[in-house]
């Protein structure tokens, strides 16, 4: 028997409804902040990711799904959305087309990670990228936008971790301090030893060695005046908006394109994979990938992790019950008019939904053949129908049908035409 590949899931039932609802809520929030949707392909040239995410990152070193197509092109399933959005931004000259460059995306990402609760090989991200705005207001807007989505989902137990990684002027100083610091520590794990020269910042969130690191140099001590100012203004804007956060010197992120602000939103309601959303500023990436000098900032939230957190606050209970209308026939002779009636309801022919005073978003089920009226009622109950419309011979001959309210059991006779 075949099974879904390790780290992937079939999405159905409650989870499918949850993802739909999350999508609906996030879209509303994105649009209110004037972000427009962009859909990019799920695979790209592999080099796009290697170049943007960084060669010495976990994603590029060991997590990409790489393949060659029939013409030998080296492709990769996207492990994240930012690189693709930047590629699309440059390719279509959004900077020339749009006066404001704010975009959002929603889609599946692929990483060959060790699966566990909240960590999958195929997962969904909803993300936003704000291009062409170097000002701290853009960083603050991005963080508030992410927080806004989480608050609309009633996810309250979150902590926003904030840090600045500086720029190409001040980061090398920090980097040098880190190399000196880590070189003085014995018995680093193999990954840390390997990364020490190539990517010393990554050592800061090593899960194996972190307990050995005390009094680590912090980026904050090394920030140049411009970066320091920028970071202070981001914080002042967040404070002004009443947004709580903690400054976290150890936050370095797993992708190399960041400059200045980085952040991660963690939820205490999920297990060890507690980062439900993350992002930051990437002022050099557009240029590095062949575009103009365009400073940008963005984030992505992991939909599955967000739903794990939302589950704890009753999100799934709040998903409105569907308005299912069940069409029952008491006499098989009436199947044709009942079937026609069901189809008229589905297509809302002649505004029948409004005329019968039914809810706008109805779902129609039935009629069924070869079932007693009793078993039709049972089925209506099982699928949670709010109303059952009954075609009975006597009533139908008088041009009428019965509408039964399934919660009160009350029945009303109405004219069919």
Site residues for ligand HAM per CB under 6 A: 80-82, 111, 113, 118-120, 123, 125, 127, 129, 254-255, 275-280, 298-302, 304-305
- Residue 125, Cβ neighbours under 10 Å: how many? 24
For residue 66, what are the CA distances in angstroms to 47, 76, 111, 256, 348? 10, 4, 10, 20, 48
CB of 302 to ligand HAM, least distance (A): 2
Name the residue nearer to ligand HAM (CB basis): 200 or 302: 302
CB of 137 to ligand HAM, least distance (A): 17
Q: Degrees (nearest 5) of the Cα angle 214, 220, 222?
A: 100
For residue 351, what are the CA distances in angstroms to 300, 359, 385, 396, 417? 42, 12, 21, 21, 12
What is the number of alpha carbons within 13 Å of residue 59 lying toward its C-beta? Answer: 24
CB of 301 to ligand HAM, least distance (A): 6
Name the residue nearer to ligand HAM (CB basis): 81 or 291: 81
Name the residue nearer to ligand HAM (CB basis): 119 or 400: 119
Name the residue nearer to ligand HAM (CB basis): 291 or 302: 302
CA–CA gap between residue 55 and residue 64 (Å, rounded): 11
Q: Which residue has the closest beta carbon to ligand HAM?
A: 302
**Exposure of 363 by Cβ count < 10 A (0-12 exposed, 13-18 middle, 19+ buried)?**
middle
All residues at 6 or more sequence positions from 24 whose CB lies less than 8 Å from its CB, including other chains: none
Name the residue nearer to ligand HAM (CB basis): 120 or 377: 120
Name the residue nearer to ligand HAM (CB basis): 118 or 392: 118
Structure token digits, residue 276: 């439900």
CA–CA gap between residue 284 and residue 293 (Å, rounded): 7
CB of 412 to ligand HAM, least distance (A): 50
CB of 208 to ligand HAM, least distance (A): 19
Helix (H) or strand (E) holding 339: helix 335-347
CB of 299 to ligand HAM, least distance (A): 5
């Amino acid at each position: 028997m075949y099974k879904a590949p390790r780290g992937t899931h079939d999405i159905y039932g409650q989870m499918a409804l949850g993802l739909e609802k999350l999508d609906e809520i996030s879209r509303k929030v994105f649009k209110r902040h004037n972000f427009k949707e962009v859909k990019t392909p799920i695979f790209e040239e592999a080099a796009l990711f290697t170049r943007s995410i960084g060669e010495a990152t976990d994603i590029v070193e060991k997590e990409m799904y790489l393949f060659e197509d029939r013409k030998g092109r080296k492709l990769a399933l996207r492990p994240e959305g930012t690189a693709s959005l930047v590629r699309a931004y440059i390719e279509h000259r959004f900077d020339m087309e749009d006066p404001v460059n704010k975009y959002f995306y929603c889609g599946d990402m692929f990483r060959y990670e060790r699966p566990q609760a909240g960590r999958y090989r195929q997962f969904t991200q909803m993300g936003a990228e704000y291009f062409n705005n170097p000002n701290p207001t853009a960083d603050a807007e991005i963080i508030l936008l992410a927080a806004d989505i989480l608050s609309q989902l009633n996810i309250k137990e979150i902590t926003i971790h904030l840090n600045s990684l500086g720029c190409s002027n001040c980061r090398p100083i920090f980097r040098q301090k880190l190399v000196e610091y880590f070189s003085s520590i014995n018995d680093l794990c193999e990954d840390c030893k390997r990364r020490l020269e190539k990517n010393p910042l990554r050592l800061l969130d090593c899960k194996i060695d972190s307990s050995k690191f005390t009094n680590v140099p912090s980026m904050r001590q090394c920030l140049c005046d411009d970066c320091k100012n920028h970071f202070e203004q981001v914080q002042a804007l967040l404070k002004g908006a009443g947004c709580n956060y903690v400054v976290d010197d150890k936050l370095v992120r797993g992708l190399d394109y960041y400059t200045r602000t980085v952040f991660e939103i963690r939820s205490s309601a999920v297990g060890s994979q507690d980062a439900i959303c993350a992002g930051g500023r990437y002022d050099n990436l557009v240029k590095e990938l062949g575009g103009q000098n365009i400073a940008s900032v963005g984030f992505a939230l992991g939909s599955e992790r967000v739903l794990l957190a939302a589950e704890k606050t009753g999100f799934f209970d709040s998903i409105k019950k569907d308005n299912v209308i069940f069409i029952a026939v008491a006499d098989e002779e009436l199947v044709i008019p009942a079937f026609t009636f069901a189809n008229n309801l589905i297509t809302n022919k002649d505004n029948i939904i409004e005329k019968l005073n039914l809810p706008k978003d109805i779902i129609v089920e039935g009629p069924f053949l070869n079932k007693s009226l009793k078993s039709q009622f049972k089925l209506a109950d099982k699928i949670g129908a709010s109303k059952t419309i009954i075609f009975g011979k006597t009533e139908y001959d008088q041009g009428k049908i019965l509408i039964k309210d399934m919660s009160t059991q009350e029945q009303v006779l109405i004219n069919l035409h």
